[in-house]
Amino acid sequence: MAIVLVRHGETAGNAQRVLQHPYTPLSERGLAQAHRVAERLGHHRVAEIAASDYARALTTAELIRDACGAPLAIDPELRERNFGDLRGRAYADLGFDPFAPGYTPPAGESWEDLHRRVDRMWDRLAARAIGLAGDLVLVTHGLVCHSLVSRRIDLGGAAYTEGRFANTSVTIVDAAPPWRLQLLGCVAHLDDELARDTRGRSGLASIGP
């Protein structure tokens, strides 16, 4: 059995490079991506699904639930990093890098805050995954995936670079410690058009809110 990390489908905010609000919905393209990843996971033996309650992740998770027939639970600790007062603003208008190490957005989360939350979530849900008769699917956000995979997952010598979590990418790790990586940021379920990065950037800015 395994733990499967899924990033949500694309939103207009992703394409426009905006720090998003929780209620930002999937775009038409994002819905198409979410249907594809749901179809892919419909061929897995999925025991349970947990999802962020942000609209873009929850819609993605609901489509996966419908394809898999597995129960879906909401878990607020799977939410994207909180950018506080910067939400709704375009990256280009800020004049600085909101993802820079050491930067804390006003009324938002620091990197350290995010890492602590991700660690709490992972310790709790990974413990649950061990007792399941199938895979545990976690539907979440780019920076949550980055925080987790870059710090807590045994990469087995594989090189990890920022920006590996495209919309609806699938990452699979062993369900038991040391949580060895099986698959990283895979979008094989998307055709060339749906897999194309409409933002034209790499690094943390391409996986951010």
Of the listed 8, 35, 141, 189, which one is catalytic? 8
- What is the number of H-type helices and E-type strands within the chain? 7, 6
The confidence score (pLDDT) of residue 195 equals 87
Q: Is 28 an annotated catalytic residue?
A: no
Domains defined along the chain, listed by start: 2-206 (3.40.50.1240)
State the pLDDT confidence band at 35, using cuts at 50, 70 and 90. Answer: very high
- Closest to 78 measured CA to CA, from 60, 95, 92: 60
**DSSP label at residue 154:** B
The β-bridge partners of 154 are 180
Mean pLDDT of the region 105-121? 98
Q: Is 62 an annotated catalytic residue?
A: no
The confidence score (pLDDT) of residue 147 equals 97
Of the listed 48, 80, 109, 146, which one is catalytic? 80
State the pLDDT confidence band at 209, using cuts at 50, 70 and 90. Answer: confident
How many Cβ atoms sit within 10 Å of the Cβ of residue 181?
A: 17
